[in-house]
């Protein structure tokens, strides 16, 4: 899939004086059923996360608190998304290399995933990812 398939998604935001509410429904706000939710937090300054691609997994990445950058690479094009709003999600399709960095203090990154964890879905070596990408 090309990098152009990855996009920012504006999520519903219900605003009221008692505080805002945002919700996400699989099949409505994302085109996949949500099988797994995980989050990253307490990332030390200067550290990065990710550094892999998925063969089949679809994800929605959200900055629940604070901010961070998501670097995406499809083997032809590269793009950086700065996430800093809990009502904006970044959809990442399969076969996209991703790295997350520039985490602000206290940031929380939540990821909604289309599948449960499966190690065999990962490309953890960039050269291997590129070989598979060019064969597709």
Catalytically annotated residues: 52
3-state SS assignment for residue 64: strand
* C-beta of residue 71 within 8 angstroms of C-beta of residue 101: yes
Burial of 6 (0-12, 13-18, 19+ CB in 10 A): buried
Tell whether the model's pLDDT for residue 89 goes beyond 80: yes
% of the chain at pLDDT higher than 90: 87
* CA-based end-to-end distance of the chain: 9
| Of the candidate ranges 42-56, 68-82, 83-97, the one whose mean pLDDT is the lowest | 42-56
- Supply the pLDDT for residue 136: 61
3-state SS assignment for residue 133: helix
* C-beta of residue 105 within 8 angstroms of C-beta of residue 64: no
φ/ψ region of 8 (left if φ > 0, alpha if ψ in -120 to 50, else beta) reads beta
- Supply the pLDDT for residue 37: 97
Tell whether the model's pLDDT for residue 4 goes beyond 70: yes
Tell whether the model's pLDDT for residue 27 goes beyond 70: yes
pLDDT tens, residue by residue, 36-61: 999 999 998 788 899 999 999 999 99
Residue corresponding to tokens 């990154």: 109
Question: What average pLDDT is seen over the chain?
Answer: 94
User: If you average pLDDT over residues 15-31, what whole number do you get?
Assistant: 91
- Supply the pLDDT for residue 44: 86
Domain formed by 3-135, architecture: Sandwich (2.60)
3-state SS assignment for residue 87: coil
Q: Locate the domains of the chain by residue range.
A: 3-135
* C-beta of residue 91 within 8 angstroms of C-beta of residue 9: yes
Tell me 35's DSSP state.
-
3-state SS assignment for residue 14: strand
Q: Which long-range contacts (CB under 8 A, 24 or more apart) does 15-21 make?
A: 20/87
């Amino acid at each position: 899939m090309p990098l152009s398939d990855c996009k920012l998604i504006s999520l519903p935001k219900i605003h009221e004086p008692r505080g805002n509410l945002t919700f996400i429904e699989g099949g409505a706000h994302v085109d996949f059923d949500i099988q797994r939710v995980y989050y990253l937090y307490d990332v030390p300054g200067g550290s990065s996360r990710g550094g892999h691609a998925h063969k089949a997994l679809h994800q929605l990445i959200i900055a629940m608190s604070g901010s961070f950058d998501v670097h995406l690479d499809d083997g032809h094009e590269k793009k950086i998304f700065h996430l800093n709003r809990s009502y904006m999600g970044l959809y990442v399709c399969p076969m996209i290399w991703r790295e997350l960095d520039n985490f602000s203090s206290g940031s929380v990154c939540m990821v909604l995933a289309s599948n449960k964890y499966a190690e065999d879905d990962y490309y953890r070596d960039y050269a291997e990812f590129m070989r598979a990408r060019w064969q597709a």
